[in-house]
Structure 1
Amino acid sequence: MTQLPNFDSLKWLAENNPEELERLQKKMCEEAIERCPESNKEQLISMHFHLEQQLSRCSNPFHRCYLAISIMNDKFIALNDIINNPNEFKKQNAKILSLPVKKL
């Protein structure tokens, strides 16, 4: 697994080579997901994709940081609700609709 550089190195990359810092971030995220159990990989990949899509709209590093913290906070709140109210979570059911079949 890739070793996280020290703070000064990361700061230098952010100021002088942001593309390299972004590549490092993506590589480390992919490595972290690969080390997770198979049962969680699809959800983590989906969450990472969603995060990347949201971050791509940011105009500066502070906006990226704020947005990332906000998204992760929302996930922690949802997880907290599930842990503290598992019966409420289990009661949730989706209604499955049949799509009409088109005749050719």
Structure 2
Amino acid sequence: MKLPNFDQLRTLAECEPEALESLRTELINAVIDQANGETKQRLRGLQFQIDAQRQLHKSPLGACIKISRMMTESFHQMIDRLNQPDTAKPAKNAKIYRLALMESEQ
């Protein structure tokens, strides 16, 4: 499905908000459906959290701020894991390889 241009989306938002919401849901589901098993489950869970925040907040701006905070927190968790790999729990069958610099790079 092709994403409408900005003017078409604005018109939908102003005149047919239900159609815009339907389009949003359809596009999100199309992306999630392309993912594989575990990733698909995680994406569905994440979308559930996003939808819950949108319903909890009285204003779209409030929901946007909360979702932005969720993204920032997730980003900081990723950075922490990258900077402290020894504290991360590897998957059951994960093979962990230590990378060392070559002598010429040290």
TM-score by length of 1: 0.73
Larger-gyration structure (1/2): 2
1:1-104 map, 5 Å: 2-90=1-89
Is there any run of 5+ residues in structure 1 with no aligned partner, and where? 92-104
Q: How many residue pairs align between the two structures? A: 90
Q: How far off is 1:81 after superposition?
A: 2.0
C-alpha separation between the residues in 1 aligned to 2:62 and 2:10?
A: 17
Give distance in 2, aligned partners of 1:86 and 1:66: 30
Is the 8 Å Cα contact of residues 9 and 20 (structure 2) preserved in structure 1? Answer: yes
Structure 2 length-normalised TM: 0.72
- Find the aligned partners of 1:12 and 1:36 in 2 and give their Cα distance: 31
| Larger RCO (CA within 8 A; separation ≥ 6) | 1
Distance in 2 (CA, whole Å) between partners of 1:21 and 1:39 is 29
Q: Distance in 1 between matches of 2:46 and 2:64?
A: 16
Aligned equivalents of 1:79, 1:33: Cα separation in 2: 21
Which letter does structure 2 place at the counterpart of 1:34? D
Secondary structure class of the residue paired with 1:5? coil
Which blocks of at least 5 consecutive residues in structure 2 are unaligned?
Answer: 91-106
Q: Does the CA-based 8 Å contact 2:33-2:40 persist in structure 1?
A: yes
CA distance in 1, matches of 2:13, 2:60: 9
- List, as ranges, runs of 4+ consecutive aligned residues in structure 1 with deviation greater than 3 Å: none
Q: Percent identity?
A: 30
